[in-house]
Amino acid sequence: MSTATIPAPSFPLFKVEDRDGWQKVSSTRLFDNPHISVDRVECLTPHRHEKPVPWLVVQRKAAVALAPMTADGLFVLISQERVPVQQTLWEFPAGQIDVPVADITPDIVVNTALRELHEETGYALEAGGTLEPLGWFLPSQGFTDEHVYLFQAKPVCVVSRPEPDGSEHISDVRLVSAEELRRMIAANEITNALTLALFARMAAKGTI
């Protein structure tokens, strides 16, 4: 399904910038590769404005995560291998935005979300479906500036087989009810931050 036919909803973009008493006074690149970089920074903060605070900050690409729902109210989960924790996890589909953070626009975020939905699950929005922005979350704000844009997509339907990229292995796609999703979270069967963040945001908004 062409994402060009989906009007991009309006939503704010996350930015790390000097404001509200924050000021980055220095930044030194210590490590760099296509996936992450590491900077040594010094910042003045709202409550520490006389002497800069030193910190190591991991720079990562921004990302998207979405909770797809079928017309009959079932959520689409994927089972994906995660090398750093050596586990196969049930997750909502997600992926990185492959442009510099400074160049990100709402259209790019939306197109990335719909592409990841199709590649990882084989699903796409039905005609007339909606992609509702649910804000963003910070997966590990103590050491990285990574931020993930959250969406709820509904209704979705199967259009093809999943086609994950070469670095991913998705072993299964599963439909679960809201009750089953809640049970899996309560039983610690779902442990990844993006799925927990999506569930929390939908629960707070009363959509689940």
186 and 86, same domain (yes or no): yes
- Give the residue among 9, 34, 36, 6 at the shortest CA–CA distance from 149: 9
pLDDT attached to residue 168: 73
Last residue of a domain, one of 5, 37, 59: 59
79 and 161, same domain (yes or no): yes
pLDDT attached to residue 1: 41
Question: In whole angstroms, what is the distance from residue 199 CA to residue 45 CA?
Answer: 32
- Range of the structural domain that residue 35 is part of: 23-59
For the chain, the domain total comes to: 2
pLDDT, mean of residues 43-57: 96
pLDDT attached to residue 2: 40
pLDDT at 5 over 90: no
SS3 201: helix
pLDDT at 74 over 70: yes
Last residue of a domain, one of 59, 85, 110: 59
pLDDT at 3 over 50: no
35 and 113, same domain (yes or no): no
Task: Give per-residue pLDDT as tens, 158-180.
Answer: 998 877 666 778 889 999 999 99
Average pLDDT, the chain: 93
- Give the residue among 183, 189, 197 at the shortest CA–CA distance from 146: 197
Beta-bridge partner residues of 29: 39
pLDDT at 56 over 90: yes
pLDDT, mean of residues 4-25: 87
Task: Give per-residue pLDDT as tens, 133-149.
Answer: 999 999 999 999 999 99
pLDDT at 100 over 80: yes
- CB-based contact 183:208 (threshold 8 Å): no
Predicted model pTM: 0.92
> Dihedral (C-alpha) 165, 75, 179, 208: value to the nearest 10 degrees?
120
pLDDT, mean of residues 23-30: 97
**Buried/exposed 127-148: b ≥16 CB within 10 Å, e otherwise:** eebebbbbebbeeeeeebbbbb
